[in-house]
A = this chain, B = another copy of it.
């Protein structure tokens, strides 16, 4: 029996560079899942300090192999060095931040209600906190080979929660997936983690079998709406339902007011084109639609943006599918009678997955007819509006990860916020949505089709996806997790309804 080869492709030429491995067989997948289940039992016997060490070890190991990782990433994805250097820094920071989250301990939501009288009679001693769900499947994304792939937010938030991870390697960077998996497992082993703590599988069939395997308790996914829906259908066929945390499709509209254009139109045009073309426009937060007022200030903005876009070179995209999808969505939009091409950048030459950057325009009054949605790649659509048309146009848009307003203090923002807030997970003012900071207050999510969840995949609260609550009733002290014992004061807890901070110097 021959196995499907997993090959590394150079996106600049479209040529196969090497055979990395072979697709994971169903038998091997079952072994990997079994190892994850065993690792889960073992991790559950460790304390939080163990996971803090694990995460810091992972961070250090990624940093130590920076040069190898970035070089391989450049070859396999076509992304630039500065971008991949930045992505690695982010991933390292993220692993350390989740170590801090585990150490700080609020994420456990530790809550104690002592036994006592209640309006419903005597109440028992109840103590609640969050516990890990079990092994988690993570689907690597093509566009963030370090931040949403084998290493990255899903992996480290699941490990932080106490869940083993099995990553489905993305077919766009199998060699990088293999290298980073090796770095992660070596770092994990150095802290004494069980062998099944971080697994990896290759190939589409293995991914499908993975989300249907009984050992898997949750799925983290960043990718296309179509890919996400296909996984949801597979998960719906499971005997035991599990949560699917999908980050899917996002238009990321930007609204620019007349006053903002008058104050800083040129700066905005430069910022927009940089945001649209950075990383080849292959970011889930890339602005796909920009609402610009009619009139001279709007015309000047469009002229500047067009000039900049015209001088943008042809851009190598991550893989054949994204290239084809870019070309076909662009062609579809251009055929719409209301859409005009404002500017085109360099044309691709030779083989490989390069495309032409493109600036399109439409009248806001016919925007709804064009049914504009996400188009991965270096393009955006400028919709020109007259005063009074704006809110109506915004109401027709799908929900997104982000919505942005560029305005001046003289503008009345409230009507815009009222229509944009229900459609976004992050509402920005006077900035561009690309560049998602990993922090405590970050939200990377939003109503469907941006995601299908009420959670985030970036920022510290991403850990909540891989936890479930348990209450211990009248438990003997020794059977309680240490964080729920009366004598423990190392983390913030709610005791008899009151939030109590840890004693200074007693955090642990």
Contacts and interface: CB of A to CB of B under 8 A. Distances in A.
A474 B429 contact: yes
Interface in A228-247: 232, 236, 240-243
A152 B473 CA distance: 23
A364 interface: no
Contacts of A467: 454
Interface string A284-304: 000000000000000000000
Max count, chain B CB within 10 A of own CB: residue among A118, A430, A473: A473
A87 to B, nearest CB: 9
A47 to B, nearest CB: 16
Contacts of A501: 499, 501
A417 B472 CA distance: 11
A499 B492 CA distance: 8
B106 A499 contact: yes
Copies of this protein in the assembly total 2
Contact of A424 (B236, B455, B470): B470
A442 interface: yes
Interface residues of A, number: 77
A120 B458 CA distance: 14
A494 to B, nearest CB: 6
A76 to B, nearest CB: 23
A86 B133 CA distance: 35
A113 B473 contact: no
B499 A437 contact: no
Nearest to A465: B454
Contacts of A441: 111-113, 126-128, 471, 494
Nearest to A236: B236
A473 B499 CA distance: 28
B429 A476 contact: yes
Interface in A88-111: 89-90, 93, 100, 104, 106, 109, 111
Contacts of A113: 437, 439-442
A448 interface: yes
A192 interface: no
A440 B476 CA distance: 20
A470 B120 contact: no
A15 interface: no
Contacts of A127: 441
Contacts of A447: 240, 468
Contact of A133 (B429, B454, B470): B454
B473 A425 contact: no
Nearest to A437: B123
A440 B120 contact: no
Most buried by B among A90, A236, A479, A492: A479
A403 to B, nearest CB: 10
A426 B124 CA distance: 12
A442 B126 contact: yes
Nearest to A452: B241
Interface in A60-103: 86, 89-90, 93, 100
Most buried by B among A112, A118, A134, A241: A241
Interface string A413-435: 11001000110111111110000
A461 interface: yes
11 contacts: A86-B120, A123-B439, A126-B441, A126-B442, A241-B452, A409-B476, A425-B471, A426-B473, A427-B472, A429-B476, A443-B471
Given A86-B120, A106-B499, A440-B497, 6 more contacts: A113-B441, A124-B431, A126-B439, A241-B448, A441-B471, A454-B468
